[in-house]
Every structure is written in structure tokens, then in C-alpha cells.
Copies of this chain bind each other. A is one copy, B any other.
Amino acid sequence: MVSAGNSGAVLAGGIFVLGRLPGVDRPCIGGSLPTLGGAGRAVLVDMGANVDVTPLQLVQFALLGEVYARRVLSVARPRIGVVSNGEEEEKGTDLTRAAAAALRKPMSGVHFKGYVEGRDVFAGEVDVVATDGFTGNVLLKTAEGAVWAFGQLLKRQIKSSPMASAGALLLGSALEQVKKRVDYEEVGGAPLLGIRGTGFVAHGRSSPRAILNALSSAEAFAARRIEDELSEAAERAAGLFEKNAA
């Protein structure tokens, strides 16, 4: 299934049509964030479908995203970060602290780096960026908005200087290449994680090329046959919240 539009509605449709994988409490959507280092992109879970989430659900997002990064994006040992308002353990909300405590347990089986902030995310310090869907959506839209505004400011400055307009011509190809790395058209849609089968959300304003890229992502995803591994990850997450889990 590949669909463009409201991500929450697409996820609800995906759950209804395809069903949920065993052990998964709430499926989520894995957005893509461009990064400088690391694999060149990080998986953002959840990117906006689940606004109110429990610690278990947040940990499941993280572990589902980890399987996706490892098996589909071919990151050998994905590093996970939880979005917070500071890096120290005592920062964050009740939700982030409970999720981080669970992810820190050896039984989680993943490489948990702790809390992350904006610069860590875009520097590529982690491969999986875990957060509730409200914060994830704000993060994604803020990054898009800030980069868009910065680009507009640059353009204005270039236009206002006769010297700089020569520079603008020279810089054209460089800007084009930068755009390619951060443009959502190129990324090929966002996977629904935790449903049976394969579902992808394309950007709401999708061009034919964006849809095509989403279809080819979906094909690659399906070829990996990672359903059992996603289910196992969801059950491992649940285990972390049982009494005496280490």
C-alpha cells in the first residue's frame, strides 16, 4: 500500500486494511531526517501519527525503527536517541524518562545513546530518533520551516548585492545538490512500522516522482521480509516493562 496525504489517516487505513503485527501496541510512521554524518539520514519514529503515547509505545517505536534502519537502510548497528530538552538523564518528561530507563536496560538489545537535541540529530549522532508523534511532527516541520526560511534569507541577500548575484550563479549547482539531500521528494516516502505487509506514506504534496520513489521504497521494504523481526522487537519492548526486567 502506498498513499499520499494525512499521515494519521494513512496509518489508520493501513491498520484497518493490512492489520497489526503480533505484539505491536501502536504502529507508527518512520519519517526521514537528513543528517551530515552517520548514514546520511535518520529514521524519525513517530513522525506524527500517534499524538498521545505511553512509555511502552515510545520504546516500541524506537525498536521498530531500529529494525527498519538495520534491515532496510542497512545500518550495521543503529544508534537510538530519544528527543529531549537537554542531554542529562533527569531532563525530559515522565514519558521520556520512563522510555529512556527501559531502553537503557541491557535486555533492550539495542545501542541506546540517551537523549538527543536538534544539533545531535542533524549531525547524525543517532540513526533512530524516537519521540511521540506530536513532538516528532513539530520537529520535522520546524526543520523544514527553518531551512526554508534560511534559504529565503540567503536568496534575498544575494539579490540585494550586485557582487553576490555573480556568486549565486556559481553556487547554483552546489545549492541544487544540497537540495537533493534534504528534499522529501527524493527520500521515497515513510514506512508504516508495525503493520502486516508493506505500507508507505508519500508527502502530502507529492509529485509523480515522489510517488514513484515511494513505490520503489515499498518494493525494497517488502523484499526484506522483516515482519517476524518487527514482531520480535515489539515483544522485546513489552518485556522491558515487566517486573524485574534487567
Is B139's CB under 8 angstroms from A154's CB? no
Q: Fill in one digit per residue for A33-46: 1 if any B CB lies within 8 Å of its CB, else 0.
A: 01110000000000
Q: A51-B92, A118-B146, A119-B145 are in contact. Are A157 and B174 (CB under 8 A)?
A: yes
Of the candidates B117, B145, B151, the one whose C-beta lies within 8 Å of that of A145 is: B117
Report the minimal beta-carbon distance from A203 to chain B, rounded to whole angstroms: 14
Report the minimal beta-carbon distance from A155 to chain B, rounded to whole angstroms: 10
CB-contacts of A213-231 with B (<8 A): none
Report the minimal beta-carbon distance from A47 to chain B, rounded to whole angstroms: 10
Quick one: copies of this chain in the complex? 2
Of the candidates B48, B86, B122, B174, the one whose C-beta lies within 8 Å of that of A164 is: B174
Closest chain B residue to A96 by CB distance? Answer: B134
In the assembled complex, the Cα of A181 lies from the Cα of B138 at a distance in Å of 23
Using Cβ atoms and an 8 Å threshold, which residues of chain B touch A143? 118, 142-143, 145-146
Of the candidates B84, B118, B173, B182, the one whose C-beta lies within 8 Å of that of A150 is: B182
Q: A92-B134, A138-B139, A170-B170 are in contact. Are A153 and B36 (CB under 8 A)?
A: yes
Report the minimal beta-carbon distance from A68 to chain B, rounded to whole angstroms: 22
Report the minimal beta-carbon distance from A183 to chain B, rounded to whole angstroms: 12
Tell yes or no: A85 within 8 A of B by CB.
yes
